[in-house]
Structure 1
């Protein structure tokens, strides 16, 4: 009966209590009931009412301050009732009732501080989620001649924010993609990732040559970071069935074709953005049904007991069937199982499938292929 009355009083006209608040309230009420039962069984003289002081502090661990005040008020009234029921009121017991009342105020203050900190943390988490969503917009499912899916796997279960980035855009020069990894973590990494993506979303529509885009992005990074900061990146363009890749210190994409997994290594290595990379494009002809996996180095560094996740060996079995979204889900499941749920770094994944040539016209030939075409 006491429990029902208290729950009604706390929830009347207010939003329902959270599971944690209900647990704290329930534990405090159980403590009050147990101590009361012991006092009743012990006889008319109160010996244990000082234990009631623990009830508001127990509630303060999980419940809001208003609930703590209610619990403390109940504990004070029950303690006072036991004292007044004594044949001869004990000074020690009377002081105990006053101590319960004072402890209630302290516990309510503690609960208020804890609740305010929890709300601030929750707000920061929401802001982090908004920042991450602003950086990593949803992809696909269809961009030009490609079906596309993206996935971000955070190394920290409580934080979905990091410096990995990706974008896919349908431009006048074909479908263009970027995947990158900012050195570092946290808000500084997100800030730099947003700068790179903001620049890319602009210049991808303005520059006909991927190498010019790399130059623009390198300048944007150099203006925004210190001497030791950088961004690895791979830029990909699909134009009329021709796949062109330029790589700035980033893991090579994997081409999945008829059961084979082909790493698309660059013709020559180039440093990351921020170190003035000079890139050489790699050009491949696509076949309908080809899939391309872009990923950040968190995938290549995922390991258990010193053994790295066998991405290339398992890529076709995990990614070669179903939709591209299903493939990424399978890859994430296998990866998390491999590392037993403990990742050392965030991972960004983009999987695209070439569905065939456009109808109703094509796209210009890349500038570095003009000589070959004229010949």
Structure 2
């Protein structure tokens, strides 16, 4: 008679069970079958019926409250069958069945609370995605004379945003790009990243001198953080085939040229934004086909079994083919494979390609770049 109990079917028009509900109901049915098998093997006395109270709680781990009620009803029916077949139960039998019913109610409540929390997390993830779009706007595919692609790789599966930042703008002074990394994590890092990007999007159009831009950004950071907070950043400017870089404590960009990978280290080190950096510019003449990789230190710190990802050694093979978007996709795939999918820190990547001088109006070169370019 036990196996005559059948599963209730969904009424017409009802949606099928979710994967979580199917998993919860399946686990509950397995436990129900195990307890039933033990009872049948034990003989006519109902010694283990009380264990059926665990059936709805097991379903509540994964399933919606409706599925928990189904599991609880099945447990109650099966328990009633076993108790009814044991005449020696007395008052213990009804008390046991009442306990199963009470457990079903509690489990359904737990499942409801869990589902509300899960729905809340989903909403927060949607808000994080909207915040990311507001903070990190899409760049490219072309900005001025440069093909540009950006990529943000989150170390946390549940969050797509952090303290890494980038932006590319076509300004009256040429194409300007920033990449940066905020010290710390969480909402404070996101807030400071948004402040830096907001300031950058303003001063990039107002300041002809990258050094003045650095001073403006440093003041914006200093007004918004504590004594131990800072932002590493690299600012890049391309105008008329001349590349100008200022670096504030950030990893040096990599220039990819004719199969070679050249780190563009600054003439002298400078502290991050927030510590009043005194920067010196580095100037390079670009050649058609040159590519430039900007990245945050999460790339340099990615490792497996103590061995760091060989960025410089593999950069040309990974980044020197297809479009700049293809190159970043290859780099990300190789990186994730290297660390077996477990990154320690978020990573921001920007890849640029110089196609050659465009036919637009000539942007005058600043005096300090003229001297540096000729040396």
Give the match for residue 181 of structure 1.
181
Deviates more, 1:37-46 or 1:243-252: 37-46
Deviates more, 1:229-238 or 1:304-313: 304-313
Cα distance in 2 between the residues matched to 1:296 and 1:317: 20
Give the match for residue 65 of structure 1.
65
Contact 2:283 / 2:369 at 8 angstroms: preserved in 1? no
Deviation at 1:201, TM superposition (A): 0.9
Deviation at 1:50, TM superposition (A): 2.5
After TM superposition, the structure 1 = structure 2 runs for residues 1-375 of structure 1, keeping only pairs within 5 Å, are 5-8=7-10, 15-36=15-36, 46-84=46-84, 90-369=90-369
Cα RMSD for the two superposed structures: 2.5
Deviation at 1:247, TM superposition (A): 0.8
Tell me the TM-score normalized by structure 1.
0.90
Contact 1:300 / 1:308 at 8 angstroms: preserved in 2? yes
Contact 1:150 / 1:349 at 8 angstroms: preserved in 2? yes
With over 3 angstroms needed to count, the CA separation of the structure-2 counterparts of 1:248 and 1:38, relative to structure 1, is closer
Deviates more, 1:273-282 or 1:69-78: 69-78
With over 3 angstroms needed to count, the CA separation of the structure-2 counterparts of 1:115 and 1:350, relative to structure 1, is same
Could you report, residue by residue, the CA deviation over 1:23-79 in whole angstroms, capped at 9, with x for unpaired residues? Answer: 111222343345456656777664443232121111111111222122212322333
Cα distance in 2 between the residues matched to 1:3 and 1:167: 63
Contact 1:195 / 1:220 at 8 angstroms: preserved in 2? yes
Consecutive unaligned residues of structure 1, counting only runs of 5 or more, are none
With over 3 angstroms needed to count, the CA separation of the structure-2 counterparts of 1:62 and 1:215, relative to structure 1, is same
With over 3 angstroms needed to count, the CA separation of the structure-2 counterparts of 1:39 and 1:305, relative to structure 1, is closer
Contact 1:209 / 1:367 at 8 angstroms: preserved in 2? no
Tell me the TM-score normalized by structure 2.
0.90
Cα distance in 2 between the residues matched to 1:120 and 1:15: 22
Consecutive unaligned residues of structure 2, counting only runs of 5 or more, are none
Cα distance in 1 between the residues matched to 2:366 and 2:108: 69
With over 3 angstroms needed to count, the CA separation of the structure-2 counterparts of 1:109 and 1:287, relative to structure 1, is same
Residues matched between the structures, number? 371
Deviation at 1:2, TM superposition (A): 8.0
Q: Secondary structure at the match of 1:213?
A: helix
Q: Secondary structure at the match of 1:50?
A: helix
With over 3 angstroms needed to count, the CA separation of the structure-2 counterparts of 1:39 and 1:251, relative to structure 1, is closer
